[in-house]
Structure 1
Amino acid sequence: MNEFQKPRKNNPYVKILSTGIIDYEGEKWSKHRKIINPTFHAEKLKLMVPAMCLSCCEMIKRWETMFSNEKSLELDVFAHLQKLTGDVISRTAFGSSYEEG
């Protein structure tokens, strides 16, 4: 698994902006993967499902409120999914909603 070489990007900003396990290779990747791997074990993920569901339900309620007075509505789903992602990470990692802080 350590032999996979990621394609090099030609964008000069990539070197500045990308630092993380996605960009690591070889021993550095292996070391960091071992550190975070237990977090993504199936049993631990199962414990996170209620928090994930709560975040999803809250987003759906916001959408229902937005749509309740409109026949049709244009919605920037990307922005909502970014907020959902932040909320799920906040709840599962820190135990509180992204909005609550």
Structure 2
Amino acid sequence: MAYSDTPEQSAVINWKGRHLVVNAFTGTGKTTTLVRYAQANPDQRMLYLAYNRAVRDEAERKFPFNGECKTSHQLAWMKFGKHLKPRLTPNLRVSRPLNRTIHF
């Protein structure tokens, strides 16, 4: 099966600017297009930001070496996690639910 890029995909793959955000509906080929961009630009590093771990894991299998795949949580943790980790309680569990209503 031959694959040919749409004009929109070609515009992304051939992008030479500094920043690029691709926003499109589900199933329109965003990941495929960005993989092709990464393959066409091996000297450029890129970040693929996924909304969950399953999507990130799938993207990691597809992207070449210059594409880094992260979830938004991972990205936030890299920046702020080291500052918050000492304040987190390990293995926190609710031992007894509160028997009151909190009104806002």
Q: In terms of Rg, which structure is larger? A: 2
Q: Which has the higher strand share?
A: 2
**Structure with the higher helix share, 1 or 2:** 1
TM-score (norm 1): 0.23
Taking structure 2 as the reference length, what is the TM-score of the superposition? Answer: 0.23
